[in-house]
Structure 1
Amino acid sequence: MRIGFDAKRYFLNQTGLGNYSRDLVRILEQYCPENDYIKYTPKLRGAWLDSAEFRKTTRLPEGRLNNIFSSLWRNSGIVKDLKRDNIDIFHGLSGEIPMGLKENHIKSVVTMHDLIFLKYPKLYKGIDRYIYNKKFKYAVNNADKVVAISEQTKRDIMEFYGIPAERIEVIYQGCHPAFKTIKTEVQKENLRKKYNLPNQFILNVGSIEPRKNAFQIVKAVENLDIPLIIIGKTTEYAKQIKAYIVEKGLENRIFLMQGFTMEELSVIYAMADVFVYPSLYEGFGIPIIEALYSGTPVVTTNSGVFPEAGGPFSYYINPQDIGEIQYAISSILNSSNMRDEMIVKGLAFAQQFNDDKIAKNWNSLYTDIV
């Protein structure tokens, strides 16, 4: 099979949708090398190698107009390139597919990550909600198969777009292989010295925005004798957290950090005593999986997708209840038996997200569509 990917996020996004795209293509190339995988992107950024293999598997817009109006190319003009390249299936990796695929007899599948803009509309500008809704609605109604990254996202697609259950497949996402390797004490100590990290700490990773709810963790650990590290890009919400930290004199115990490589981040996960993730809503919650693979106990939200991602051996809390979050952290820190059980059984649960299983599910789906 020849499979074409909407690779805009693959090349241009360094987190979230970009990580999903890069991981999935990597997994397929490794475990299903019998297929051809072609990545279509409106532009490139960063140090992508212009090797013969890169040129063979990557396509950019051709012609002056397609380069000037690259969004239009991605929305419809790309179909001519797909036909020229004899693509059997086009895979929209981030909730979008171009118009004109059916008319040109090109099969399609779209990955839907979440419908946050519909669940929490106040978090988005009106114009953004309009654009997302238009693109997503077209994709789920016109793709030959819709893939949700969780049962929660599947339910949301059925609720908001009226798509029947039989048209939606659930295929979980994996995580970067860096999180699946055992870290040595030397690796941990070197990183600790490099960034002056504390010997023990609570960890939170993700975009620092209201939906992720990191402020509740700050308030929960305020009276606990253990540092907190929050890793994510600076936002207005992060500035509010920083102001609170200064107001309460917590500068030596609570740290907001960013800029780590994936390998460094995986070591930090493995160093943490507890991973706390009281997000209000996610399509899946990949940081939970990263923590489970890293052998770090997880405290997360007791509803939505979170029990699906965290499994039966994570600790679930009401994300708005500071006391519950504090009690959960204290319980894990004060019970080595509980912590050990969460580590061992959490890692066992995470094996369902292994690369080989994800590749098998996707290859079966592609084959069925063709």
Structure 2
Amino acid sequence: NTFHDMGFLLYPHFYPPVKRWYFGKRMRTFLQRTSHVVAVSHSTATSIGALFPEYRDKISVIYPGTDHLLAAPEETPSERAVAPPYILAVNTLEIRKHTPFIVEVFDYLRHNFPCNHRLLIIGQRANGYHALRRAIRQSPYRADILLKNTVSTARLMQYYRDCDFFINASVYEGFGFTPFEAIQFDCPVFLYRNNTVREIIGNHPYTFPEMQAERWGEAIWKALNNRFVNRISRKDLQSYSWKNTTHATLNLFHKMLTGEETQVVH
């Protein structure tokens, strides 16, 4: 079995009651039925081991790839594009994604600097949707905030390419794909330093350990004027490919069947 995150046990207040009930009831059943657990990050593996120590020796970490959109076929998007310049945020609109904070950062940039960007937020509705709508209504720059619940893959790829930068304030992730998708398109990203950002990116100056709109806004504006010279590079994600994920998964299967490691020749 593959476990993507343990948020419903670590941060239950971020989840609706029905989801807490379901996963809380089913988690041990999933573990009892499995011969081995695959965690998508060391953070997730550590959490599983801490909450269910009897399974600690049955856990392997296999990172997902982050290069899937680069392999997607080039298509002409059917829906109308958003004209640059704009700031991009992509996430399911859950409470834990902390999307209203992104509106705060946008408001700070527009109020304090000659910033003419719009803010484009893309995400499926979830339990944080109404809080985000409220934040948008209260923004003095709400006319320049665009919210889309769904877009095509082709259009999403274009948005990653054309935005000036990407911003993500998710409090907790099992892995968290969208910031890494953005990086793969050479998009400058500014991220809350959550568990997986610390694990994969580290203490990069474009990551922040707290939710302070002023600090984010000042750092972003400085980086924008410096042409994002310190941006996180796609080279930093070279090892997070689906090819490596496949090799690691096949190696785990081989080990479970034979008890031996296999050497994959690249």
Pick the TM interval, shorter chain: 0.7 to 0.9
Partners of 2:6 and 2:48 lie apart in 1 by: 8
Shift of 1:282: 0.6
**8 Å CA contact 2:65, 2:243 repeated in 1:** no
Partners of 2:138 and 2:179 lie apart in 1 by: 30
RMSD: 2.6
Which position in structure 2 is the counterpart of 1:353? 240
Tell me whether 1:208 sits opposite 2:93 in the alignment: yes
- The answer for unaligned runs of 5 or more in structure 2 is 110-114, 258-266
Cα-to-partner distance string for 1:62-103 (whole Å, 9 max, x where unaligned): xxxxxxxxxxxxxxxxxxxxxxxxxxxxxxxxxxxxxxxxxx
In structure 2, the CA distance between the partners of 1:227 and 1:363, relative to structure 1 (3 Å rule), is same
Structure 1 window deviating more from structure 2 (142-151 vs 231-240): it is 231-240
Which position in structure 2 is the counterpart of 1:254? 145
Partners of 1:219 and 1:256 lie apart in 2 by: 15
One-letter identity of the residue aligned with 2:29: Y
* 1:353 counterpart SS class: coil
Tell me whether 1:309 sits opposite 2:194 in the alignment: no
- Residue-pair matches, total: 251
Which position in structure 2 is the counterpart of 1:94? none
* 2:30 counterpart SS class: helix
In structure 2, the CA distance between the partners of 1:310 and 1:263, relative to structure 1 (3 Å rule), is farther
One-letter identity of the residue aligned with 1:215: P
Which position in structure 2 is the counterpart of 1:299? 190
Which residue, 232, 238, 247 being the options, matches 2:129?
A: 238
**Larger CA Rg, structure 1 vs 2:** 1
* 1:242 counterpart SS class: helix
Tell me whether 1:280 sits opposite 2:171 in the alignment: yes
Partners of 2:86 and 2:162 lie apart in 1 by: 8
In structure 2, the CA distance between the partners of 1:204 and 1:179, relative to structure 1 (3 Å rule), is farther
Shift of 1:236: 5.8
Tell me whether 1:150 sits opposite 2:35 in the alignment: no
Partners of 1:229 and 1:246 lie apart in 2 by: 15
One-letter identity of the residue aligned with 1:254: I
**8 Å CA contact 2:186, 2:234 repeated in 1:** yes
Partners of 2:207 and 2:146 lie apart in 1 by: 24
**8 Å CA contact 1:213, 1:319 repeated in 2:** no
Shift of 1:198: 3.0
Partners of 1:169 and 1:194 lie apart in 2 by: 41
Partners of 1:207 and 1:141 lie apart in 2 by: 30
**8 Å CA contact 1:216, 1:320 repeated in 2:** yes
Q: Stretches of 4+ moved more than 4 A in 1?
A: 180-183, 311-314
Question: TM-score, structure 2 length as denominator?
Answer: 0.84
Partners of 1:127 and 1:302 lie apart in 2 by: 29
Shift of 1:133: 2.4
In structure 2, the CA distance between the partners of 1:333 and 1:132, relative to structure 1 (3 Å rule), is same
* 1:153 counterpart SS class: helix
In structure 2, the CA distance between the partners of 1:302 and 1:330, relative to structure 1 (3 Å rule), is same
In structure 2, the CA distance between the partners of 1:234 and 1:165, relative to structure 1 (3 Å rule), is closer
Which residue, 339, 342, 349 being the options, matches 2:231?
A: 342
Which position in structure 1 is the counterpart of 2:7? 116
Q: Share of identical aligned residues, percent? A: 24
In structure 2, the CA distance between the partners of 1:152 and 1:236, relative to structure 1 (3 Å rule), is closer
Shift of 1:313: 4.8
Shift of 1:127: 4.8
